[in-house]
């Protein structure tokens, strides 16, 4: 293993921001794995730390195929993590909305440019990221439909689902999108948690990446076969919205099968404690995403359901 500072940003009043990369193996730039880019992505950083640990052990036992190099970047935005902020602490901008970056621009543009200059040369890119809404997912691989995506490669992770989505204009400045435009096979991996550590889904994520790297021919590693992934288009997921604001009480979990009319959650009056709304499932299916905050606003998306093909 070789540890290096891949980007350093000077700071007047605090220590410099140093983004560390961990190199394994030697040869062609085969795979790059990026962890937390936002200050609340603790789970994503944790998963990368466990990958560093696993890859270090594999390298010590001759588990790397000659001619392959893997880079792991556990954290990009630990400045914001240190003070409990999701986005860049000074101007509240999102580094993952600044790619490919601009080395003469604003701070987050310069950080993005410095990181992208290093990661753009790898044939495969894996990002552990989080959703724009707070909540829990079924572990899955997500790809943007840029015309360069390869869903067959996403199946190699062995996770239960592969989600393909059409990029919106705001997505064109994400790492995943720019990776694909610059000829990298890019994948976003989602686990069950973001701002807390979920050991079960973290272990599943580590296993899925090692499985992918083995099937791509970069590692010698004996892994379980995992799942035969179901490919889902994001447009086909059924959104369930809250019809009232108040204290949110979730009654179902991601991965749980629900029936039409089943109570998914309750919304309580924040002062009197009475149930003001019961959120019912609009159809039979599997909970893919579940909102996970104690308070909810009216019309907020609180569940995404994978619709069953046969009702």
Q: For position 309, what pLDDT does the model report?
A: 54
Same domain, 67 and 19: yes
Residue 295: give its domain's CATH number: 2.40.50.100
**H or E element in which residue 47 lies:** helix 42-60
Same domain, 76 and 213: yes
Work out the pLDDT band at 119, boundaries 50, 70, 90.
Answer: very high
Statement: residue 179 has pLDDT above 60: yes
* Domain stops at, among 180, 203, 233: 233
pTM over 0.85: yes
Residue 71: give its domain's CATH number: 3.40.630.10
Q: For position 80, what pLDDT does the model report?
A: 92
Q: What is the mean pLDDT of the chain?
A: 93
Kindly state the tokens that stand for 301.
């998306």
Q: For position 222, what pLDDT does the model report?
A: 83
**H or E element in which residue 144 lies:** strand 140-144
Phi and psi dihedrals of 41, rounded to 5? -85, 65
**H or E element in which residue 108 lies:** helix 107-119
Same domain, 69 and 145: yes
Contact yes or no for 151/135 (Cβ under 8 A): no
Work out the pLDDT band at 148, boundaries 50, 70, 90.
Answer: confident
Same domain, 219 and 291: no
pLDDT (tens digit per residue) in 86-114: 999 889 999 999 999 999 999 999 999 99
Q: For position 303, what pLDDT does the model report?
A: 97
Same domain, 135 and 281: no
Q: Could you tell me the residue range of the domain that residue 63 belongs to?
A: 2-233
* Domain stops at, among 217, 233, 249: 233
Same domain, 40 and 120: yes
Work out the pLDDT band at 150, boundaries 50, 70, 90.
Answer: confident
Closest by CA to 4, choosing from 29, 17, 22, 24, is: 22
Same domain, 131 and 222: yes
Statement: residue 295 has pLDDT above 80: yes
Same domain, 166 and 282: no
The average pLDDT across 123-133 equals 92
Contact yes or no for 197/42 (Cβ under 8 A): yes
Same domain, 186 and 222: yes
Work out the pLDDT band at 12, boundaries 50, 70, 90.
Answer: low
């Amino acid at each position: 293993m070789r540890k290096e500072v891949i980007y350093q940003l000077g700071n007047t009043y605090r220590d410099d921001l140093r983004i560390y990369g961990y190199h394994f193996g030697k040869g062609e730039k085969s795979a790059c794995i990026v962890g937390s880019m936002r200050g609340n992505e603790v789970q994503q950083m944790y998963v990368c730390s466990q990958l560093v640990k696993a890859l270090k052990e594999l390298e010590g036992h001759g588990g790397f195929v000659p001619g392959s190099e893997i880079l792991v970047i556990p954290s990009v935005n630990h400045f914001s993590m240190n003070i409990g902020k999701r986005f860049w602490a000074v101007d509240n901008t999102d580094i993952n909305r600044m790619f490919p970056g601009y080395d003469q621009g604003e701070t987050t543009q310069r950080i993005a440019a410095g990181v992208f200059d290093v990661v753009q040369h790898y044939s495969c890119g894996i990002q552990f990221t989080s959703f724009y809404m707070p909540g829990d997912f079924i572990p899955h691989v997500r790809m943007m439909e840029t015309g360069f995506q390869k869903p067959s490669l996403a199946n190699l992770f062995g996770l239960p689902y592969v989600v393909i989505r059409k990029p919106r204009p705001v997505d064109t400045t994400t790492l995943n999108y720019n990776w694909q435009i610059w000829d990298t096979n890019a994948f976003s991996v989602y686990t069950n948690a973001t701002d807390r550590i979920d050991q079960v889904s973290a272990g599943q994520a580590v296993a899925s990446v090692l499985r992918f790297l083995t099937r791509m021919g970069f590692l010698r590693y004996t892994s379980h076969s995992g799942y035969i992934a179901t490919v889902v288009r994001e447009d086909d997921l059924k959104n369930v919205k809250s019809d009232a604001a108040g204290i949110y009480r979730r009654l179902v979990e991601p991965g749980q099968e629900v029936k039409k009319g089943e109570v998914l959650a309750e919304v309580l009056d924040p002062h009197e404690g009475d149930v003001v709304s019961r959120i019912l499932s609009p159809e039979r299916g599997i909970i893919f995403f579940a909102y996970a905050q104690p308070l909810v606003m009216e019309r907020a998306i609180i569940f995404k359901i994978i619709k069953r093909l046969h009702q």
